[in-house]
Amino acid sequence: MASNTRLLVFFCLFLPFLLSSTAQAQDCNNETFSSNKLYSTCTSLPDLASTIHWTYHSTNGTVDVAYRITQSSSNWVSWAINPTSTGMIGADALLSYHDSAGTVQIIMSQLSSYAPTIANASLTFTVYEMSADYSNGAYTIYATLQLPNNNTTQNTVWQRGSSFSNGLPSGHPNTNTGSQTINLNFLSG
Ligand SMILES: *[C@@H]1O[C@H](CO)[C@@H](O)[C@H](O)[C@H]1NC(C)=O
Ligand SMILES: *[C@@H]1O[C@H](CO)[C@@H](O)[C@H](O)[C@H]1NC(C)=O
Ligand SMILES: *[C@@H]1O[C@H](CO)[C@@H](O)[C@H](O)[C@H]1NC(C)=O
Ligand SMILES: *[C@@H]1O[C@H](CO)[C@@H](O)[C@H](O)[C@H]1NC(C)=O
Ligand SMILES: *[C@@H]1O[C@H](CO)[C@@H](O)[C@H](O)[C@H]1NC(C)=O
């Protein structure tokens, strides 16, 4: 009886501690950004070694985002919001890559099919600012944008690939399909 009680006390005292330290191992909070940019919330994305950080501005429905993903510097990365569906078709994407001169570039493109022609064009929502950098084996895309339909819950999609066409990203491995999407709540995280 006494040893059962001790066991119970052990679990009550230490199980919450064990669970919380497990959660902290996947924490995105130790990431830092250029120009000492700070964000109020972050989460680790469930695939492709990536994280997303953001600050939501309730006064005007805009959000500042930083998306970081591990990728070789000769390849490309992308983060997108899909305002009308889940997955790739209909997604409004930000893409970053190194150009032939070795400069990190950022473009935006609407993905209307599974084999879209990527061109730097406007999205279905306003992007006020966008930039990208590359360090320690990871790209970071920074953007300030207007949340579509002023909705704080959005379907987000992310991807990385190595194919280029005319110097612009084109295509990703067919093994990278389906799982790189989450419904993100910009209000609560
Ligand atoms: C951040 O934490 C993760 C998980 O504990 C670790 O793998 C990574 O090396 C840390 N990064 C920095 C810059 O400390
Ligand atoms: C967007 O929603 C926020 C929070 O509910 C609200 O404060 C803001 O006025 C809305 N903006 C527009 C343009 O509807
Ligand atoms: C939205 O609100 C934030 C916080 O007040 C402000 O810093 C930002 O400039 C505003 N953006 C626009 C496009 O008005
Ligand atoms: C894409 O267009 C934006 C303006 O909409 C510009 O700031 C950016 O430099 C362009 N990127 C490239 C690679 O042309
Ligand atoms: C916001 O978008 C989500 C999908 O991310 C949808 O389920 C929800 O109905 C939308 N809310 C409004 C008020 O349109």
Q: Which of 72, 56, 69 is nearest to 150 (CA)?
A: 56
Number of domains into which the chain is organized: 1
φ, ψ of residue 148 to 5 degrees: the values are -55, 135
Q: Quick check: is 68 in a domain?
A: yes
The residue nearest atom 10 of ligand 1, judged by CA position, is 30
CA 89 to chain centre: 17
pLDDT of the residue at 189: 78
Q: Quick check: is 56 in a domain?
A: yes
CA of 85 to the centre of ligand 3 (A): 27
Q: Quick check: is 85 in a domain?
A: yes
The residue nearest atom 12 of ligand 1, judged by CA position, is 30
In 3-state terms, what secondary structure has residue 105? strand
CB of residue 140 inside a 6 A radius of ligand 5 = no
Q: Which of 22, 108, 119, 34 is nearest to 68 (CA)?
A: 34
pLDDT of the residue at 51: 94
pLDDT of the residue at 187: 94
* Residue 32 alpha carbon, nearest atom of ligand 1: 13
58: containing domain: 37-185
Q: Do 143 and 93 form a contact (C-beta atoms < 8 A)?
A: no
pLDDT of the residue at 25: 29
Ligand 4 neighbours (beta carbon < 6 A): 105, 107, 120
CA of 39 to the centre of ligand 3 (A): 14
The residues, ordered by sequence, that sit 6+ positions from 56 with a Cβ below 8 Å of its Cβ are 40, 41, 62, 63, 147, 152, 186, 187
pLDDT of the residue at 102: 96
CA of 54 to the centre of ligand 3 (A): 14
pLDDT of the residue at 180: 86
Q: Quick check: is 21 in a domain?
A: no
Q: Quick check: is 17 in a domain?
A: no
pLDDT of the residue at 68: 96
Q: Quick check: is 93 in a domain?
A: yes
DSSP annotation of 85 = S
Number of H helices, E strands in the chain: 1, 12
Q: Quick check: is 10 in a domain?
A: no
Q: Quick check: is 92 in a domain?
A: yes
CB of residue 152 inside a 6 A radius of ligand 2 = no
- Give the DSSP per-residue string, 44-81: E-SSSSEEEEEEEETTTTEEEEEEEEE--TTSEEEEEE
CATH of the domain at 167: 2.60.40.1210
CB of residue 155 inside a 6 A radius of ligand 5 = yes
CA of 182 to the centre of ligand 2 (A): 23
The list of the chain residues with pLDDT below 50 reads 1-26
Ligand 3 neighbours (beta carbon < 6 A): 57, 59-60, 62, 128
The residues, ordered by sequence, that sit 6+ positions from 126 with a Cβ below 8 Å of its Cβ are 145, 146
